[in-house]
Amino acid sequence: MRIIRLEEVKDCTGLGRSTIYKYIDKGAFPKPVSLGDRCVGWVESEVHDWILARIKARDSAEG
Predicted TM-score (pTM) above 0.85: yes
Instruction: Supply the range of the domain harboring residue 30.
Output: 3-62
C-beta atoms surrounding 42 within 10 Å: 24
How is the chain split among helix, strand and coil, in percent rounded to 5?
60, 15, 25
Task: Quote the number of domains for the chain.
Answer: 1
Mean pLDDT of the chain: 96
Q: Given a cut of 80, is residue 62 above it in pLDDT?
A: no
**Which residue in 34, 28, 27, 25 sits closest to 3, CA to CA?**
34
In sequence order, what are the residues at sequence separation of 6 or more whose Cβ sits closer than 8 angstroms to the Cβ of residue 51? Answer: 12, 13
